Structures are given as structure tokens and as C-alpha cells.
């Protein structure tokens, strides 16, 4: 797709440029075909049909059944629904990890005020859940376990299949915040055996303000949004037809080109890390080998991530420090603390997250600029 503005965008974990086909798929439903999908007249027939088709496409992309997909306003709502209502299914304590996104952490804080005990799983130096620690923490009184599939700051992918089995063996419901993973790595909900899974359109080249929650058949979760009869009375509110249609197109396109983009992004990552290594700069790469393609978290010794970000911004390059969703909080992020980045490196952390629209010339310019900023 053509670049819209003259800059280098390397913050795809924060949000992505919309896919061209997805954008075009939205237009009819933002212009002439504006019927309310819940109405019985013929002017709403096509809206009903495209909603059904979108649900089917999305379900196929994660190997779910269409009835298991519920449209929401995005990752934050899906996470809040999963935590606040998921915890009521069985009661008991809730287990999550110390590196979750604030959509999960703050939803957990909210239910803590109602007396729910929250327990936190720790991660190793690469940001991966310590399975032995999880075995000790998830117990017979655990009602819900929520662990993200991939971390937004460092990209590390978690052992979801093992964790969901562990939860199931103790009789607990398992939720995964897959906002950074859907559309970027293959996902099969049946193989992973998860009960609830959150996703967000704008993280995989779809529109902002749309997402979904996968709810496994038989998991008796209460609605979070009360109101009309939409989404089988499970998520009230007039359907955002244009965005739902576009989200389905974006997800299908990303999945079709996933392998090709993965190889391209891996090559770019290697280029960036090699160039920095050859420049006599003291740095650490955070995260695991098994991570989201294109997501690179680097900590530079005795630097400030904030300063690097602003210098790069002046050069027309968008990168991030810790988590972009947490830009108000300029302190060292909870993720960087949890993986124990040494003190002299922690403040100098930046995140480069490349996406399918980045090209080699941008990557060359990005890394040359970054080296210049860090050296100066
Ligand atoms: N979960 C994770 C892991 C995220 O990275 C984000 C956004 O950055 C969210 C949840 C929130 O998603 P949304 O922006 O769609 O509300």
C-alpha cells in the first residue's frame, strides 16, 4: 500500500496502517449501505449477510466456529469482559502474569476491589512464564487463568498450550489476551484448548475500535455490555458493520501473507541488530527467540529511551519506548522490571516494531539514524 505520509512508521505493536482491501471493504457501509443490521427490512439484509460472512472468516482464521466469535470494541473491552465475567464462572482466585497489558492488569485490580484474590505468575529473563512457578500458583481454588499469548513490549510468545492444560487440570477457565498475536502468528484455538481469547482489529491492519472475544462453546460467560439483543444477547450495541467487515478482510489478508512477511521481518531484524552490533554500542536485546515477527526491544547502556524516541521523531521516524499504550507513564515499564533488565540499561529501552508495509530502504534509514542518535 502507498505510504500516506512521508515518515518511517516503526511502531506497529501500537497500531498498524489499514490494509487497502480492508479499507475498501468498509466504504459501502460508511456511505450508501448504512442499514442497522438488527432491523428486519430488506435495507438491512446485506448488513446481516456481511456480518455473518465476517464472523465465518474470522472463525476460520483461528480454527473456531462462527458462533464462538463475539464482536467487541477492541482488545481492552474483550479483556475486561474475559476477566470481569470470566472470573464469575467458577469463582475462586484469578491467576495472571506480571507482564500483562494494563487492559488485563487493571481489570484484575477492579475485581480485586470486590474481594477476588489475584495471583501473579513470574517470568524469566526472556519474558517467558516460569512453568514450575505456574504449577505452584495455579491451584484447585483457581477459577480463571489469564496469560497473554505474546507480549506487546518485547514480543515473547508464551507456552499457552501448556498453561491452558494446567488450568483445565485444576478446573479453571483459561483466557489469553492474543491482541499482539492474532494476524501475526498461526493460532488454532482448538489445538491450544483455550476458553476465551481476545483480539483487536487495529493490531493486524484492520480499523481501530473493533475487536472480538472468542468464547469456546459451552463456556457459560455472562454478557459484559447489557442492552439490546445483538450478538445473541451477549454483547449489546448496534453492530459496527463497516469495521467488522474490514477486520475480517484484514485478518484474512494477513494470514494469507503471514509466512512471506515473517521471513521479510526476520531479515530486517537481523539487519538492524547486526548494524548496531558493528557500531560499538553497548546494548541488550530483550525477549525470547520465539517472538512476534518484527518486534525488537533493545536496551542501551546509560541512555534514556525517551530521548532516543524524541530524537528519532525529529528525523521523521516513529518508534516507542516501553509500551505505547502507556505513554503517560514515562517510568521504567512493569515488563522491563519483570525481566530484570540491569539498572544501567533499563532506562535506555526502546521498541522498534516493524510491520508488513515497512521496506528495506526504511529499515536502512531507521538503523542509520538510530546509531547516530545513540552515538551522539
Ligand atoms: N492487549 C495487548 C497485549 C495490547 O498490546 C493492547 C494494545 O496495545 C491491548 C490489549 C488493548 O487493545 P485495544 O487498543 O484494541 O483496546
Per-residue pLDDT of the chain (376 residues; tens, 9 = 90+): 555 458 999 999 999 999 999 999 999 999 999 999 999 999 999 999 999 999 999 999 999 999 999 999 999 999 999 999 999 999 999 999 999 999 999 999 999 999 999 999 999 999 999 999 999 999 999 999 999 999 999 999 999 999 999 999 999 999 999 999 999 999 999 999 999 999 999 999 999 999 999 999 999 999 999 999 999 999 999 999 999 999 999 999 999 999 999 999 999 999 999 999 999 999 999 999 999 999 999 999 999 999 999 999 999 999 999 644 455 556 899 999 999 999 999 999 999 999 999 999 999 999 999 999 999 8
pLDDT for the residue numbered 324: 43
> Cell 467487541 belongs to which residue?
72
Between the CA of 319 and the centroid of ligand 1 the distance, in Å, is 17
pLDDT for the residue numbered 272: 98
**Ligand 1 pocket mutation, candidates 77, 100, 150, 203, criterion most atoms within 8 A of CB:** 203
pLDDT for the residue numbered 323: 46
Atom of ligand 1 nearest to the CA of 209: 15
Grid cell for residue 151: 507480549
**Ligand 1 pocket mutation, candidates 12, 75, 77, 335, criterion most atoms within 8 A of CB:** 75
Packing angle between helix 360-375 and helix 305-314, nearest 10 degrees? 130
pLDDT for the residue numbered 325: 45
Between the CA of 211 and the centroid of ligand 1 the distance, in Å, is 10
Q: Per the residue annotation, which of 149, 196, 325, 354 is the catalytic one?
A: 325
Structure pTM? 0.96
Parallel, antiparallel, or unpaired for β 142-146 and 93-97?
parallel
Between the CA of 139 and the centroid of ligand 1 the distance, in Å, is 28
Give Cβ neighbours of residue 95 (< 8 Å, ≥ 6 apart): 118, 119, 120, 121, 134, 137, 138, 142, 144, 145, 146, 167, 172
Atom of ligand 1 nearest to the CA of 103: 10
Residue list, ligand 1 pocket, CB within 6 Å = 74-76, 79, 101, 103, 148, 152, 177, 179-180, 200, 211, 325
Between the CA of 201 and the centroid of ligand 1 the distance, in Å, is 10
Which class for 215: exposed (0-12), middle (13-18), buried (19 or more C-beta within 10 A)?
buried
The verdict on whether 108 is a catalytic residue reads no
Between the CA of 207 and the centroid of ligand 1 the distance, in Å, is 13
What residue's CA is closest to ligand 1, atom 5? 152
pLDDT for the residue numbered 331: 80
Q: How many CB atoms lie within 10 A of CB 171?
A: 12
Between the CA of 200 and the centroid of ligand 1 the distance, in Å, is 7
Parallel, antiparallel, or unpaired for β 283-286 and 295-300?
antiparallel
Residue 288 Cα distances to 61, 156, 362, angstroms: 25, 5, 25
pLDDT for the residue numbered 376: 87
**Ligand 1 pocket mutation, candidates 78, 179, 187, 291, criterion most atoms within 8 A of CB:** 179
Between the CA of 282 and the centroid of ligand 1 the distance, in Å, is 31
Grid cell for residue 65: 466456529
Give the integer Cα–Cα distance in Å for 52 and 57: 9
Amino acid at each position: 500500500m502507498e505510504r500516506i505520509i512521508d515518515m518511517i512508521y516503526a511502531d506497529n505493536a501500537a497500531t498498524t496502517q489499514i490494509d487497502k482491501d480492508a479499507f475498501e471493504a468498509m466504504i459501502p457501509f460508511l456511505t450508501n449501505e448504512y442499514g442497522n443490521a438488527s432491523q428486519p427490512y430488506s435495507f438491512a439484509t446485506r448488513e446481516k449477510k456481511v456480518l455473518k460472512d465476517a464472523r465465518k472468516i474470522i472463525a476460520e482464521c483461528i480454527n473456531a466456529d462462527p458462533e464462538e466469535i463475539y464482536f467487541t470494541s477492541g482488545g481492552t473491552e474483550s479483556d475486561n469482559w474475559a476477566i470481569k465475567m470470566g472470573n464469575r464462572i467458577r469463582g475462586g482466585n484469578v491467576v495472571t502474569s506480571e507482564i500483562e497489558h494494563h487492559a488485563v492488569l487493571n481489570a484484575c485490580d477492579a475485581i480485586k476491589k470486590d474481594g477476588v484474590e489475584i495471583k501473579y505468575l513470574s517470568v524469566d529473563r526472556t519474558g517467558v512464564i516460569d512453568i514450575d512457578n505456574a504449577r505452584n500458583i495455579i491451584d484447585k481454588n483457581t477459577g480463571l487463568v489469564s496469560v497473554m499469548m505474546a507480549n506487546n513490549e518485547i514480543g515473547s510468545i508464551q507456552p499457552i498450550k501448556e498453561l491452558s492444560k494446567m488450568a483445565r487440570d485444576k478446573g479453571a477457565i483459561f483466557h489469553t489476551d492474543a491482541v499482539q498475536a492474532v494476524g501475526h502468528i498461526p493460532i488454532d484455538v482448538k489445538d491450544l484448548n483455550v476458553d476465551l481469547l481476545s483480539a483487536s482489529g487495529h493490531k493486524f491492519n484492520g480499523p481501530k475500535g473493533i475487536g472480538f472475544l472468542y468464547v469456546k462453546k459451552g463456556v457459560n460467560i455472562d454478557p459484559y455490555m447489557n442492552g439490546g439483543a445483538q450478538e445473541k444477547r451477549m454483547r449489546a450495541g448496534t453492530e459496527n458493520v463497516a469495521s467488522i467487515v474490514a477486520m475480517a478482510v484484514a485478518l484474512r489478508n494477513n494470514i494469507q501473507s503471514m509466512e512471506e512477511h515473517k521471513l521479510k521481518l526476520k531479515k530486517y531484524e537481523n539487519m538492524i541488530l547486526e548494524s548496531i552490533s558493528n557500531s560499538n554500542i553497548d546494548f541488550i536485546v530483550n525477549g525470547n527467540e520465539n517472538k512476534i515477527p518484527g518486534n525488537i526491544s533493545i536496551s542501551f547502556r546509560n541512555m534514556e529511551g525517551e530521548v532516543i524516541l524524541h530524537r528519532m521523531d525529529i528525523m521523521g521516524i516513529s518508534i516507542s519506548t516501553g509500551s505505547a499504550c502507556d505513554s503517560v507513564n514515562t517510568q521504567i515499564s512493569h515488563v522491563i522490571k519483570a525481566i530484570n533488565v540491569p539498572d544501567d540499561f533499563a532506562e535506555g529501552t526502546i521498541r522498534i516494531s516493524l510491520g508488513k508495509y515497512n521496506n528495506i530502504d526504511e529499515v536502512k534509514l531507521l538503523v542509520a539514524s538510530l546509531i547516530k542518535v545513540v552515538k551522539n
